[in-house]
Amino acid sequence: MSRTGNGALTVSQLNESIRALLEGDPALRDVWVQGEISGAKLYSSGHLYFSLKDADSVISGVMFKWQLQRLTFRPENGMKVILHGRVSAYVPRGQYQLIAEGMAPDGAGALAVAFEQLKARLGAEGLFDPARKKPLPFYPRRIGVITSPSGAAIHDIIRVTGHRCPSVELLLFPSPVQGAEASRYLAAGVRYFNTMRGDPAQGVDVIIIGRGGGSAEDLWCFNDENLARTIAASDLPVISAVGHEVDFSISDFVADCRAATPSAAAELAVPDREDLSRRLDSLDTRMHTALLSRLNREETRIRRLAASGVLTSPEGVLTRRAEQVDNQARRLTLAMDRRMEAGGRELARLCGQLDALSPLGVLKRGYALVQTGEGHVVSSVSQLEAGQAVSLRLSDGQVEARIIGNR
């Protein structure tokens, strides 16, 4: 390190040396610090600057954008957290600080705030909308269970499904159900069952995800945002069964169905064989009653037909039908006669009118039709000349004549 002419360090050199000492200490490169956030400010760059304090001391801190985006909650003033990171120094101000690489709420109050933040954000996106929730299959062939293989939840699910419907198969995707890495495994289970959908050996019809009861910290992995979005994107219906009846998680809100306990999830997922048996008995009784009712109706109908005249006395029925035909034939003949008479009278009337208008009728009254030799009808004396030959058409024949003169 170069020094000034008098052997002194510059302020920048001193601060650089302090930073090198801090960042070179293995104990300070990986620290966990518990405290309360104050003075938090999110800059336009996306970095969060804050202070972390307890009852007696305070230290500055920063969380850069790419680390902040991984949090499932938004750090706020007054929130108690456990911070993971390293100690460094900000050279321009000569101030040492925590560089946060991870952060988790500490205590029930902080967890509740983070829970409500995520719940409000996902709810605003519509991930809890009842309209997007899928119905559960009535009779699943196989159920996928995502939980710890050593926990009470899987044993409860096996016990309940075995009692209610032994024919339903269970397929376990083993996963831790608490701790920092649990949510990643839980989400992987949801994706796995969706990937195997339709596979004859690994395909399932519905998913149960959950665990038994525990503290808020124990159940916190079921409030992970990535897990919530994975459940929401599932093509298979998902039943969330986290904790006891009073416990609620983000997974409960985003799943297609929420069960108070793993045992209740198994009851929701499979039908009860005793209920099925009673339902089948009821359907059998209803079908038997319906068949008897139909048989009784048909028997009554057959008896009514058997007692009808067409079967007991077919000759009488034929006689009545013959009489009806005769009656109809007589009525048809009379109608035809009346129609012929009316038609004859009408024809005579029309013939009389035609006869009155006929030229031959006029000739019978002493008139004659005069035509020239070319056959033209003569209607005026101006058309004739002396000595011209004409034809005279009378009522009973035609004669030839010649014009002597006209007046």
Rama region for 385: left / alpha / beta (φ>0; ψ in -120 to 50; rest): beta
Name all contacts of 315-324 with Cβ < 8 Å and 24+ positions apart: none
Dist CA 314 CA 256 (whole Å): 70
15 pLDDT more than 90 = no
The pLDDT-based confidence of 145 (bands split at 50, 70, 90) is very high
- Of 140-144, 193-197, 203-207, 321-325, the one with minimum mean pLDDT is 321-325
What's residue 257's pLDDT? 95
What average pLDDT score do residues 120-141 get? 93
202: three-class secondary structure by DSSP: coil
E strand map for 251-330: 257-258
Q: Which of 22, 65, 24 shows the shortest CA–CA distance to 47?
A: 65
Dist CA 238 CA 144 (whole Å): 9
The pLDDT-based confidence of 407 (bands split at 50, 70, 90) is low
What's residue 218's pLDDT? 85
Beta bridge partners, 390, equal: 372, 401
Q: Which token pair is 96? A: 């040492």
Segment 330-379, tens digit of pLDDT: 999 999 989 999 999 998 888 878 877 776 666 677 778 888 878 788 77
What Rg, from alpha-carbon coordinates, does the chain have? 55
109 pLDDT more than 80 = no
- Most confident range (mean pLDDT) of 87-91, 172-176, 304-308 is 172-176
141 pLDDT more than 80 = yes
What average pLDDT score do residues 290-309 get? 85
What's residue 140's pLDDT? 93
| Residue type present at position 218 | D
Segment 52-105, tens digit of pLDDT: 998 889 999 999 998 888 787 788 888 888 898 999 888 888 888 999 998 888
DSSP code, position 55: S
Cite the DSSP H helix spans in 87-181: 108-124, 152-164
What is the torsional sign of CA 274, 276, 282, 285?
A: negative
Element (H, E) at 131: none
* Size of the chain, expressed as the number of residues it contains: 407
What's residue 384's pLDDT? 82
1 pLDDT more than 80 = no
Q: Which token pair is 392? A: 């005279």
Element (H, E) at 318: helix 314-357
How are beta strands 31-42 and 48-53 bridged, if at all? antiparallel
How are beta strands 95-105 and 58-63 bridged, if at all? parallel
> Does 215 or 159 have the greater pLDDT score?
159
383 pLDDT more than 60 = yes
- Of 18-22, 36-40, 138-142, 195-199, the one with minimum mean pLDDT is 18-22
Give backbone dihedrals phi and psi of 363, rounded to 5 degrees, phi first: -65, -30
Burial pattern 327-355, b for ≥16 Cβ within 10 A else e, equals eeeeeeeeeeeeeeeeeeeeeeeeeeeee
DSSP code, position 377: B
143: three-class secondary structure by DSSP: strand
249 pLDDT more than 60 = yes
Dist CA 407 CA 391 (whole Å): 19
Cite the DSSP H helix spans in 196-272: 225-232, 250-254, 262-269
Segment 190-240, tens digit of pLDDT: 999 999 998 999 999 999 999 988 887 788 899 999 999 999 999 999 999
Average pLDDT value over all residues in the chain: 87
- Of 158-167, 298-307, 311-320, the one with minimum mean pLDDT is 311-320
108 pLDDT more than 70 = no
The pLDDT-based confidence of 393 (bands split at 50, 70, 90) is confident
Spatial contact of 392 and 398, defined as CB atoms under 8 Å apart: yes
Dist CA 124 CA 114 (whole Å): 16
Burial pattern 145-180, b for ≥16 Cβ within 10 A else e, equals bbbbeebebbebbeebbeebbeebebbbbebbbbee
What's residue 13's pLDDT? 85
Cβ-based neighbour number of residue 306 at 10 Å:
10
Sheet holding 238-242, edge to edge: 169-174, 142-147, 206-211, 238-242, 257-258
Spatial contact of 254 and 190, defined as CB atoms under 8 Å apart: no
What's residue 255's pLDDT? 96
The model scores a pTM over 0.85: no
